[in-house]
Amino acid sequence: MTAARYYPPTPQPEPPLKTRRTRRRSQTPDLNRSKVTQISPRRQQLPESLQFLLLIQKSSSTLTFALVTLTLIVYGWTVCVPSLWSQEFRRLTKLQQDERQLVGTNETLKHQLAEQAQKPGSGLTQPHPSQSIFLPPTKVSPIVPKTTASAQGDPFVPETPIAY
């Protein structure tokens, strides 16, 4: 790409020396100087085949960048995600094991309390209906929302929420 745009610099004429002699000579026309013409730098149109190659290079660079990005995403998905999943799976199995141990310990404690309650010297007695406390039932009135519908047929919107 840079070789296609490289143009060698054109040599510039050397400025005349500023001495007495050169001033006198510069008054006379210089034959060498009159032959040099200044070329204005302008951009030349590149041939179509070179333009096509530059287009291919730009598009392949873009495609390469996209493929590298896609490769990094696929790498992250196939390598990093499974390693994180395996760490979380190990954590889950450890929590399940701890839960099983807690359930077993809880059941063991319940069994020991039941055995202690059955011993005659523990001071615990069997429940008896005469020792129970009964509360009378209370009347609960159901909450009925006020149904007010306007004459225009607006939808019903209750004052209290229907659900949480």
The whole domain housing 96 covers 81-116
Q: Of 48-52, 105-109, 143-147, which one has max mean pLDDT?
A: 105-109
Structural domain contains residue 92: yes
In the predicted structure, residue 154 carries a pLDDT above the cut 80:
no
Structural domain contains residue 89: yes
Secondary structure (DSSP) of 122-139: G------GGG--------
Scan for tokens 């013409």, then name that residue. Answer: 37
Residue among 61, 64, 66, 48 nearest 4 (CA)? 48
In the predicted structure, residue 35 carries a pLDDT above the cut 80:
no
Structural domain contains residue 110: yes
The number of folded domains in the chain is 1
The Cα–Cα gap between 68 and 36 comes to 53
Structural domain contains residue 135: no
The Cα–Cα gap between 33 and 12 comes to 11
Structural domain contains residue 52: no
Q: Do you know the residue count of the chain?
A: 164
Structural domain contains residue 31: no
Structural domain contains residue 95: yes
Q: Are 29 and 71 in contact (CB under 8 A)?
A: no
pTM exceeds 0.85: no
